[in-house]
Amino acid sequence: MKIVAICGAGIGTSGILKVNAERALGRLDIEADVTASDVAGVAAQAADAQVILTSPELVAHIGKTNADVVVINNYFDLEEITAKLETALG
């Protein structure tokens, strides 16, 4: 399973979201390859992804995808990330 965490530049916030998504997946006992990407690279990164994690303001920039797009409002809220991943992957 592949999950892509995206942000505007692909460095800071996507890295934070990646780490916290990995923690949330650990809580759920789910193994997945989580990668960080910027908006420009999301098409290539998400080509084989099952889930894309992003902020509300970047959803419109993702484009056409077969992945489930999951909006995360607070990248530091493990409860939110865990609940939304559980719903998306459940």
Residue 74 pLDDT > 70, yes or no?
Answer: yes
Measured CA to CA, the distance from residue 79 to residue 12 in angstroms comes to: 21
Tens digit of each residue's pLDDT (9 = 90 or more) over 16-28: 999 999 999 999 9
- Domain regions of the chain by residue span: 2-82
Q: What is this structure's pTM?
A: 0.89
Please state which of the ranges 5-9, 30-34, 85-89 shows the lowest mean pLDDT: 5-9
pLDDT of residue 7: 78
Block residue for tokens 């999950």: 3
Strands (E), the chain: 2-7, 33-38, 51-54, 68-71
CATH 3.40.50.2300 for domain 2-82, yes or no, is: yes
